Chain A
């Protein structure tokens, strides 16, 4: 019985050694990563972990108004009231502000998943939206039919084996959304 207990103890010790050895192996692998890349990455050095190589995107966005094509800007004043109606069809599509056209689809797929589900590559509609507006005294009222979209700034990067990041592409793309309506603003002349 005591021999049996002793064997169990040895087995437990071996198991513990194996557990302790695992990070040591990973650590030496990290050293190989570091040597291969010739770079220093504090995270990988501290944790002793190599990264899985993959391509990813980081996104940021801000609201943007995208005018529908074929719908003019209306203006009235000074003062009084303006009534505008959009009863004819119009469309608006994604616009590349900076970067490659080829990224439009990939960035949209990620933007709809993480930023807004209502973003789209294009918005086309023929529904009617009549808008009445009181114009401030001595001001001119302006109105334009827009899609309330998002300008998405993206950075495409590769995570290297040594956990460093290499930027592959970056840019800005404006996407329309399902939301549409009248944008109104006032001017002095």
Chain B
């Protein structure tokens, strides 16, 4: 085994160079084995984990709808900012969520609303031009919003009396690279 140019053995005698290269290949081999082990240990729980957050909620209620084509009033063009914008991860304190990916939308009611807390809807999308959400509290529509992608939008939701059941209904165009999120979280 000869050391290749640029392998980092410059200035060593050939014997030492061979020794270092052998050691390097041993390290690389061990590293590769380690990577495989890590991949296996990560892969196992993934297989058992729900593929989308909505399934993880115990009282999950799927209320989402998906629209394969843009709404008639949509101009169909993605915003310039939307090209680089990344939709953030769902917040841990969300009480309801609806998430859209390339080919599906999943929604869930996570926990009942807490008395006295004012909630907002955080919504964001990327990879397409727009999204729309509707918010229902105890099956009554409270508010709705239609927004262009590429910004973090936070709209007032409601102030809870306690125990309300909150649901989000999401509409967003499907397509490659599309991602949408609407979540009900405590007001900042």
Contacts and interface: CB of A to CB of B under 8 A. Distances in A.
Q: Do A and B bind each other?
A: yes
Given A134-B142, A179-B122, A128 B147 contact: yes
Interface in B104-152: 120, 122, 140-148, 150-152
Query: Closest 4 CB pairs between A and B?
Result: A184-B156, A63-B188, A181-B154, A181-B155
B79 interface: yes
Interface in A133-189: 133-134, 148, 178-185
Interface in B12-65: none
Instruction: Report the interface size class on chain A.
Output: 20 to 34
A132 B141 CA distance: 10
Contacts, number: 65
A129 B147 contact: yes
A118 interface: yes
Instruction: Report the interface size class on chain B.
Output: 20 to 34
Contacts of A58: none
Nearest to A143: B156
Contacts of A132: 143-145
Contacts of B141: 134
B149 to A, nearest CB: 9
Given A179-B154, A179-B188, A182-B156, 6 more contacts: A63-B188, A118-B152, A127-B81, A130-B145, A134-B141, A185-B156
